[in-house]
């Protein structure tokens, strides 16, 4: 009689279904993590390197966001000059995406990693000293910030492409999600570092620290990142 007449409330049923869905998502997550971290050592190491590079890139991104403040402190740049730099930045972001899309399949992913990190470092140095150089401050700042933004957003594209070409289809979403998580973690670290460094150092020195921080990535790329150009995604599986 009870079985025929008593029904579970809709709210209880909703909670039960939610719990089942949560358990299912947890199982899928564990399965996908096993796929990623039990893959061939070369690909597993390359993916971990991508996570580290993503973290460092995000830390550096926080320092880049201080650029406008640093320009405002320059005695050789006025408000109109800074507006010009902002317009140039918008163009350079688009250029970073386009350049990566055009070149990535021609020269490969790994050379672009080197190229962009060197470009970021050079751009940062030009920007740092350009802002305090009388007469040509606007020109140097535009060049420096353009190089920084082309490289910064170009790296975003190449990190995404490489992640896709390292991970089997069934775990690709999880792999990209973890890369994004590392980026968020890096941004948090960057904010903490920035809040501490600005108490003791000038913005010029902070940008120099940021430029030197980028050099950490070069040995990581050399030792662990593998070239994924030409990868047939259908060939990726748990073993590979």
Instruction: Kindly state the DSSP code that residue 166 receives in the 8-state scheme.
Output: T
pLDDT recorded at residue 12:
43
- Residue 140: the pLDDT is 93
The tokens describing 209, both together, are 């620290």
Residue 210 has pLDDT above 80, yes or no: no
Share of the chain above pLDDT 90, in %: 15
User: Six-digit token pair at 42?
Assistant: 């070369």
Q: Residue 147's Cα: distance from chain center in Å?
A: 16
Query: What are φ and ψ of residue 125, in 5° steps?
Result: -65, -45
**Which residues, 6+ apart, have CB-to-CB distance to 196 below 8 Å?**
none
Highest mean pLDDT of the ranges 56-60, 64-68, 199-203: 56-60
- Write down the residue that tokens 């402190």 correspond to: 73
Element (H, E) at 188: helix 172-200
Q: How confident is the model at residue 234 (pLDDT cuts 50, 70, 90)?
A: low
**Per-residue model confidence as pLDDT tens digits over 113-166:** 999 989 988 998 898 888 888 989 999 999 999 999 999 999 999 998 888 888
CATH code, 63-226: 1.20.1250.20
pTM equals 0.79
């Amino acid at each position: 009689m009870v079985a025929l007449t008593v029904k579970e409330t809709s709210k209880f049923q909703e909670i039960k279904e939610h719990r089942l869905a949560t358990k299912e998502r947890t199982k899928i997550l564990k399965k996908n993590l096993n796929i990623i971290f039990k893959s061939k050592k070369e690909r597993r190491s390359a993916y971990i390197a991508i996570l580290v590079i993503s973290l460092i890139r995000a830390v550096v991104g926080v320092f880049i966001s201080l650029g406008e403040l640093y320009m405002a402190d320059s005695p050789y740049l006025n408000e109109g000059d800074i507006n010009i730099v902002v317009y140039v930045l918008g163009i350079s972001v688009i250029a970073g995406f386009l350049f990566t899309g055009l070149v990535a399949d021609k020269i490969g992913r790994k050379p672009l990693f080197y190229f962009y990190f060197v470009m970021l470092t050079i751009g940062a140095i030009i920007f740092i000293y350009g802002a305090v150089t009388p007469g040509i401050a606007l020109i140097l700042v535009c060049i420096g910030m353009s190089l920084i933004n082309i490289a910064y957003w170009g790296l975003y594209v190449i990190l995404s492409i490489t992640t896709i070409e390292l991970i089997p289809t069934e775990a690709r979403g999880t792999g990209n999600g973890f890369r994004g998580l590392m980026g968020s973690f890096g941004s948090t670290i960057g904010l903490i570092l920035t809040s501490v460094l600005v108490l003791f150092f000038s913005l010029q020195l902070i940008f120099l620290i940021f430029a030197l921080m980028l050099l950490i990535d070069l040995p990581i790329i050399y030792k662990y990142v593998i070239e994924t150009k030409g990868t047939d995604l259908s060939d990726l599986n748990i073993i590979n």
